[in-house]
Amino acid sequence: SSECSKCPAGTYASESGSSKCHDCDLNFALKRRIGMAHCDLCPDSGSTFGTEKCHRKLRMSCEGYRYYDFLLKGCKKSIDNDLKTYGVLTYGEGISSKGEGGGSLFSRYYYKYTLDQIASVKGLISWQGDPVDSTSLEIILKDSNKNHIKNCKTKVDILNPYSVHCSAFDVKFLAIAIFGDTWKSAAIYIAEIALYAE
């Protein structure tokens, strides 16, 4: 319709003659054409990262954890394509420290992922499973020999998927961990996490 055709790129009107345009989620939809009846989504759950290009979602699996079965279970929930299930990342057990100031250090639990193939990475998107206080997520990228390539940090978003640019080449392994201001109450509920190709 004439009204529908007035919807600017990045928005849509689903009904003929509608005078209201609805916003598309530009994490996952392109902003190329006007007058759309639905969002111009990237194929295969790809992401735009706010650009005019779709970045492919990378396939990955969770690594085993020996004695920490609960981490493996939580990790699998973070890549099961179900926003109703989630894993919880927290700080681990206290480790006594004789370093500066004495007291205790607190280890962190990690979710560890293996990519199906070595890839150039554009970034990562995380979906929050539950509200949480101000807490950050640390992203660690490694090569096929598990050598460190890059670390990125991002705040998690309670209501929306949160994207972070974390570009790197020759990535084979990914780990994520909590990065909070305080260990006492810090936890991140990860409903879903996805890594995208450059």
Q: Which residue ranges form the domains of the chain, and what is each CATH number? A: 1-41 (no CATH), 60-197 (2.60.120.260)
Residue 96 has pLDDT above 50, yes or no: no
Question: Confidence class of residue 99 from pLDDT cuts 50, 70 and 90?
Answer: very low
| Residue 38, pLDDT score | 87
Residue 23 has pLDDT above 80, yes or no: yes
Question: Confidence class of residue 157 from pLDDT cuts 50, 70 and 90?
Answer: low
| Residue 3, pLDDT score | 45
**Mean pLDDT value across residues 83-91:** 83
How far apart are alpha carbons 58 and 86 in whole angstroms?
19
**Mean pLDDT value across residues 94-113:** 60
